[in-house]
Structure 1
Amino acid sequence: MGGIADKFDKAYEEKPISELAGAPVEALQGVSPGDAQHLKDAFNIKTVRDLGTNKYFLWAQAVAKLAD
């Protein structure tokens, strides 16, 4: 999976990509349950897919890439 699996907690490393997209954001290494709650409260982000498709994060990513 091109190094994607190692970005997740151990329990998720063997899951197919379709399951990783639906995994809770705290499945990502370094995202605590408290962080996940803040994302949910602020942006209604509950899953990795939600995080990766959030318009504000996509806009910020585009600005950062253009700035480089």
Structure 2
Amino acid sequence: MAVSVNLAKKLDKEYEDKTLKEILDAPVDALAGLTPRHTEALKDLLGIKTVRDLGRNKYFATAGVLVALEGHEG
């Protein structure tokens, strides 16, 4: 099954036409709304250098799951 996702509004203009691998290997400021200053702060504080690192980070992953579960409590 093919999956198509339009991420244009979620990415910096420079990355809109890049492959998934290129986006994952990019610095976190490839994400719309983040700046090189954010990239440096995440690198210095948590060792996060790329979009891939950000997505794999246990703190961000846990926060994402908690937000997804919000409203589904028993």
Answer yes or no: same fold by TM over 0.5. yes
Task: Output the TM-score relative to the length of structure 2.
Answer: 0.80
Question: Would you say 1:18 and 2:28 are equivalent positions?
Answer: no
Structure 1 unmatched runs, 5+: none
C-alpha RMSD of matched pairs (Å): 1.3
Runs of 4+ in 1 over 3 A off after TM superposition: none
C-alpha distance after superposition, 1:19-59 (max 9, x if no partner): 11101111111101111111111110110000011011111
Structure 2 unmatched runs, 5+: none
* Matched ranges for 1:1-68 at <5 A: 1-68=4-71
Structure having the higher helix fraction is 1
- Aligned-residue identity in percent: 47
Larger Rg: 2
Task: Output the TM-score relative to the length of structure 1.
Answer: 0.86
